[in-house]
A = this chain, B = another copy of it.
Amino acid sequence: MSEVREKASKAKAVVTELNRLSTEQKNAALRTMADALIASADAIITANVEDLDRGREQGTPESMLDRLALNKERITGIAEGLRQIAELPDPVGEVLETFTRPNGLHIEKSRVPIGLIGIIYEARPNVTVDAAGLCLKTGNAVLLRGGSSALSSNRKIVEVLHQALATTAMPADALQLVEDADRASVDEMLKLNGLLDVIIPRGGASLIRTVVANATVPVIETGAGICHTYVDESADEAMATDIAINAKAQRPSVCNSMETLLLHANYAEKHLPTLAERFREASVVLKGCETVRRLVPTAAQATEEDYATEYNNYILNIRVVENLDEALQHIAHYGTKHSECIVTRDAAHAERFMQEVDAAAVYHNASTRFTDGFEFGYGAEIGISTQKLHARGPMGLPALTSSKYRITGNGQIRQ
């Protein structure tokens, strides 16, 4: 039996046991995991140094190595994350509907764990702990498949967590790490129907595309974000500027940052030169349409491909549109259904934008950077779903549950 199938089977074997755990037992396990990470910080850092050394040998860029690096402070932060998850309300058992039918059948629909969740992710070893914590809190078993660049760190972290779980009511087998660094192990996970109930990819656009194109197990698609801000003719200039700069430059590497700014033609004529100067100060490189290039001669020409690119960087497309309709058309064509914003003082335009734009989150007069489980007050986030089924937008703990109907009768049969 392959490693993937063996570990998935082990995890699957404990889902019933997990389902029986009380909220208190699960929270106690998460806190024990947090304590163990801190107690074993030195061993984890030693393992992490192996990953970093290997990365340097392979010429991995420093920015990537920085995301991979662990130190005591980061490990403390990761452990703190587990403690925060323990504090959150447990969605499992929540009654969603309850009703009695005319024939006396009592029907209750309540939240249950999904079962076995597969997470496929890239470099950062904090995802190992974070994903494990979120899945175990919701009574799910989890099969993790992290990037090979963090394998030593992930292996040591899971070893520490396994030892910790062995002292709790939670079965250690509920947490499994695929160590096989070969791409074939990902391919096998994608087709593990009957064992895996869902796969959540966490990473870049290419990882997500591979997963969606090849999985036969249900997938929750996360992350890709080509987000737009449309500044309408009537927008308040100071507000529009603040929102646009924030959406682009506060943290360009994340999925809810802006990639293209759409400006109403009259707004652009009046305010674009000043706005462009603000972007320059924020180190943002501009690309634009013909009108933009007339108003901002330093801007490069934006191409079709640029409009379809998630830069995740200090680069911005600006396009001038004649009206709201043209903005809506641009977003419908290039958007990834993540987060879209209109800045306007025109209530009817705002309403139309909010209604017609097909995205997980639509904003009126606020930065798209708020699409985030923590900013929404959910206290946790397993990702931001850009698909329409099961969960859409920031996914908190309830997104890691399914439901079940419990029907109680006294001998009812169907006529």
Contacts and interface: CB of A to CB of B under 8 A. Distances in A.
Interface of A: 15-16, 19-20, 99, 101, 105, 107, 109, 114-115, 193, 197-198, 212-214, 216, 218-220, 236, 238-239, 242-243, 245-247, 250-251, 332, 350, 354-356, 358-367, 369-371, 375-377, 387-390, 392-393, 402-414
Copies in the complex: 2
Contact of A406 (B19, B362, B375, B403): B362
Contact of A366 (B105, B115, B236, B392): B105
Contact of A19 (B19, B355, B360, B387): B355
B405 A365 contact: no
24 contacts: A15-B358, A19-B356, A109-B393, A115-B358, A193-B212, A198-B388, A218-B219, A218-B388, A236-B411, A238-B411, A239-B411, A250-B413, A360-B404, A360-B405, A362-B406, A365-B409, A365-B410, A366-B407, A366-B410, A369-B413, A392-B403, A392-B404, A393-B404, A393-B405
Contact of A218 (B350, B376, B387): B387
B388 A115 contact: yes
Contact of A363 (B358, B402, B403, B409): B409
A194 B163 CA distance: 45
A236 B403 CA distance: 30
Contacts of A389: 114, 197-198, 218, 220, 389-390, 402
Given A365-B408, A406-B362, A413-B246, A216 B213 contact: yes
Given A114-B389, A354-B406, A365-B411, 13 more contacts: A99-B377, A101-B377, A105-B370, A239-B410, A242-B411, A245-B413, A246-B414, A362-B406, A363-B407, A363-B409, A367-B413, A367-B414, A370-B412
